[in-house]
A and B are shown apart, each in its own frame.
Chain A
Amino acid sequence: MKRALPIIAGILVLCIPLMVSNQFLLHLGIIVLMWTVLGVAWNLLGGYAGQVSFGHASFFGVGAYTTMILYLSFGLAPWYGMALGGIMGALLSLPIGFICFRLRGPYFSLATLAVAEIVRLVALNWEQLTHGPMGLLITTLPVVTLFGEPINWERKGPFFLIVAVIALSAMFATYLLARARLGSYLLAIREDEDAAESIGINTTRAKVSALALSAFFTGLAGGFYGMYFRYVDPDAVFPISLSIEMVFIAVVGGLRTIAGPVVGAVFLTTIAELVREHFEVGHLIFYGLFMMLVIRYLPDGIWGRVLRFFTPHR
């Protein structure tokens, strides 16, 4: 029964577009799921491996730009481009990982921040490729037929299904990772890196693998962002604040939990939508506030706290 619950929940999520026809609600669902992917992806590295990255926006941006550029220059349909965006994110993460993982703790965090700024500045200034601050725009998406019927890209339903599949697979990947050998390596690294090294774990390789997986899903979400909003510019997909928001989703929801980022994404997106009516970036005030409150009073995050409430004391 306990094992069936997540599967049932997943199937229910996939059925939502059949039952809900309100386009605004579906849009909200899409945003929540997109942030869920980002939170889950960040949590793979930040939660399970304990490596706090402040630079995940660079993988998101690279994914988004890959998707857009491949479509605009080579006519490659965005759903393939999206997968390549994820792969590009993972590829970019390899050199970044090998450089930044020479550093530990807060130094690693600062290094990722600097790398992300370098990537942002390159995207802003490499105008032949990215059109600089003007950004890239897709006007129409190509036609796809599924079961003999063309998919209607003007409606939200198909997008919802795509992002839901990405989110569920990211969560499933987390589930597998936590049970795999790599997951145990990461746990050992998080608890004591020197001890992990001394028992023969190749810590750099373990951390780089976790980063690559994390960057893959982040890039995938970036590609989805490009396809859904059909417009990207460096300010939208590369800012520091985007990296920080990913951190918040994972921390507020609950580090090292599979469903935590969902809770974090629902919670923070709700705040954002409630506040946005009155003030464009007002939600960031609340993000900051909740971040502080959660670290002070709920270090396990909201979902982590709920889980602890239900599991008997050991």
Chain B
Amino acid sequence: METFFQSLVNGILTGTLYAMIGVGLTVIFGVMRIINLAHGDMVMLGMFGAYWSYTLWKIDPFVSALLLVPLLFIAGMLAYRFLLKAIIPGGELNTLLYTAGLSLLIANLALFAWTGDYRTLNLSYAEVPLRPFGIAVPVPLAIAFGLAVLITVALYFFLARTDTGRAVRATSQNAEAAALMGINVENISMITFGLGAALAAAAGVLLVPSLYLYPTVGEILIVKCFVIVVLGGLGSVPGAIAGGILLGVVESFGAVYVSVAYKDTIGFIIFLLVLLFRPQGLFGARQA
């Protein structure tokens, strides 16, 4: 029973971080109909940003997030404005291939700059885990969980309550109608892409103390991210959150009760089953 709760808690903690990555991908898809294959590489950039600020300047990753997240927000907006904007009229498959190219470019530039070594970031306060109710919870993962919840709530308020957030949702529902209502769809797209990149970077920074980092880590993360987003229904923010937590729990149980080697396979099989039998996602509404 203890193992059960331990893996459940681990699953939920990692799942929240997965959810953040998934939310970034899903808002971008919702507004621009881009499946951003370079999303995992943005997480990777966040991870390396945090790693280098800790190694070079001894800045705690949770502090460097304050600098990195706005930085990636701007980088994301620029990437949209100067790279992706011209491609979008070419259709979904063109943007898919284009972002595949972008992903390869970013990942291999990172490989060139930082080599393929596996790195870890060891924080002094990470050595002794918290033990509430006899369940071991690593301190950095607990902080990351708290911050992820905070960011997700902030995002919810942004989308639900602010004018810009409403504009984002309106564009996501129907870009043409939104434009007719006087929303500047181009600006909203740019902001949304920045937002997605910022969320990815934030997740990267929060993941750094708990994960190995290497330049091609994005490849694995992006595949996980698709699983999450498809589970929840592409374009749905609550769906992505639920999908992320679900994947985290499934992986964690899979590693304990099935086999460590096949834990990723379980996620993919669920992904295929959902794609086949509920392509609108577990929580999504059926769309035309």
Contact = CB atoms under 8 A, between A and B. Distances in A.
A121 interface: yes
A117 to B, nearest CB: 6
Given A281-B111, A282-B108, A292 B102 contact: yes
Interface in A109-128: 109-111, 113-115, 117-118, 121-122, 124-125
A288 interface: yes
B108 A285 contact: yes
Interface size range of chain B in the complex: 35 or more
A251 B223 contact: no
A291 to B, nearest CB: 3
A292 to B, nearest CB: 4
Nearest to A283: B108
B112 A99 contact: no
B271 to A, nearest CB: 5
Contacts of B275: 102-103, 107, 110-111, 114
Given A111-B275, A114-B268, A117-B223, A105 B92 contact: yes
A244 interface: yes
A105 B93 contact: yes
A277 to B, nearest CB: 14
Interface size range of chain A in the complex: 35 or more
A114 B103 CA distance: 17
Contacts of B219: 240-241
Contacts of A52: 93, 96-97
Given A114-B223, A281-B108, A282-B108, A299 B94 contact: yes
Interface in A269-305: 279, 281-282, 284-285, 287-292, 295-296, 299
A86 interface: no
Contacts of A142: none
The main secondary structure of chain A at its interface with chain B is helix
A192 B242 CA distance: 34
A308 B29 CA distance: 34
A299 B265 contact: no
B226 to A, nearest CB: 5
Interface in B64-103: 83, 86-87, 90, 92-94, 96-98, 100-103
B101 A287 contact: yes
Interface string B33-52: 00100000000000000000
A118 B265 contact: yes
A121 B261 contact: yes
A125 B259 CA distance: 11
A50 interface: yes
B111 A247 contact: no
Nearest to A113: B223
A97 to B, nearest CB: 13
A291 B226 contact: no
A6 interface: no
A106 B34 CA distance: 9
A277 B70 CA distance: 38
Contacts of A54: 100
B87 A296 contact: yes
Contacts of A292: 83, 98, 101-102, 105
B104 A288 contact: yes
B226 A247 contact: no
B265 A115 contact: no
Interface string B107-118: 111011000000
A234 to B, nearest CB: 12
Nearest to B234: A107
Interface in A233-264: 240-241, 244, 247-248, 251
Given A106-B93, A107-B230, A122-B265, 6 more contacts: A50-B93, A117-B264, A247-B100, A284-B111, A287-B101, A289-B101
5 contacts: A103-B279, A110-B35, A117-B265, A241-B104, A299-B90
Interface of B: 35, 83, 86-87, 90, 92-94, 96-98, 100-109, 111-112, 219, 223, 226-227, 230, 261-262, 264-265, 268-269, 271-272, 275-276, 279
